[in-house]
Amino acid sequence: MQKPILRTDFQLPGQKDVYKGKVRDVYNINDDHLVMIVTDRISAFDVVLPRGIPYKGQVLNQIADRFLEASQQIVPTWKIATPDPNVMVGHKTEPYPIEMVVRGYLTGHAWREYRSGKRQICGEPLPEGMQQHQKFERPIITPTTKAHEGHDEDISKDQIISQGLVSKEEYEQLEAYSLRLFEQGTRMAREKGLLLVDTKYEFGKKNGQIYLIDEVHTPDSSRYFYADGYQERLDNGQPQRQLSKEFVREWLVERGFQGEEGQNVPDMSDDFIEQVSQRYIELFEQITGEPFQYTESEHVEQRIEQNIRQQLEQLK
């Protein structure tokens, strides 16, 4: 099993600063471009787990690359180039302080809220009598705040506008982009035998232009069900076959961990790490229809740095 990429510590030409997120190391180049390195770190319940997942970063980056390319038909994206399997280089924007979460099905966080008795999420009313994993009549948008630390919080459209986080005009543009992106992602997933269940989109602004930023339709930002057998499983009250990070969350919950204070992350065995890695690779092959190309496992950091430097030279 390849040694996972857990952190990078490069000094790149024009580097102003570096931001280490839950999964990504993001290098600011001259306040104009970003170099985003997708590591093999994995987070759940807003906690970075102690062990990394081999090839996870490559999977996320290469799926995002394909969907960002397709998304250009709808909205400009931050991506300029993908010089390495784990790296994307693009525009540095001023991010909007919210995430646009689009849900097509009553699953995950939405289901947990519904099961607790709530019939409204982020100002969106939910009908009575729904069951877990049931499809909504239409996709709904349930935005969240963007927390640098801790948990993102649900927020409504009215709250976003009244608090001045985003203007009404721009928020409605983000809504329109998000629904069109979800429609496109749903269509592309269906072509590969998958259902796009829910996802999140992030946007930024540069020189007055809105850009789609960060990752798109990856298993870290999205949830997928297999289309085959979906209705039968729903009718019988059975769990759906899914390709997402949700099974990691479920594994943690079963062992008493939900990211709450005082809880300890359960031990992640080599077998479990291998299982998670294979699930990510399975999603890559399912969503792209292509075999996964394993990158060489030695001197990974040197390869990444060399490819980044070559790309930065081309941007001068």
Structure tokens at 270: 């080599």
Helix (H) or strand (E) holding 286: helix 270-288
Lowest-confidence region among 142-156, 158-172, 198-212, 252-266: 142-156
Q: Evaluate whether residue 258 is within a structural domain.
A: no
* Helix residue ranges per DSSP H, 98-193: 108-115, 157-162, 168-191
Lowest-confidence region among 58-72, 220-234, 293-307: 293-307
Pair (102, 229) in one structural domain = yes
Q: Provide the mean pLDDT of the chain.
A: 94
Q: Evaluate whether residue 27 is within a structural domain.
A: yes
For residue 57, give the CATH number of its domain: 3.30.200.20
Structural domain of 218: 95-241
Is the model's pLDDT at 283 over the cut of 90? no
Per residue in 72-104, pLDDT tens? 999 999 999 999 999 999 999 999 999 999 999
Pair (86, 129) in one structural domain = no
Q: What is the mean pLDDT of residues 30-57?
A: 94
As a whole-number percent, the residues of the chain with pLDDT over 90 amount to: 85
Q: How far apart are CA 121 and CA 136, in angstroms?
A: 13
Is the model's pLDDT at 150 over the cut of 70? no
Q: How far apart are CA 271 and CA 76, in angstroms?
A: 41
Q: What is the mean pLDDT of residues 142-164?
A: 88
pLDDT band at 151 (very low <50, low <70, confident <90, very high): low
How many domains, the chain?
2
Q: How far apart are CA 77 and CA 70, in angstroms?
A: 10
State the pLDDT at residue 216: 94
Pair (71, 99) in one structural domain = no
Q: What is the DSSP letter of 266?
A: P
State the pLDDT at residue 282: 87
pLDDT band at 296 (very low <50, low <70, confident <90, very high): confident
Q: Evaluate whether residue 283 is within a structural domain.
A: yes
State the pLDDT at residue 187: 97
Pair (78, 101) in one structural domain = no
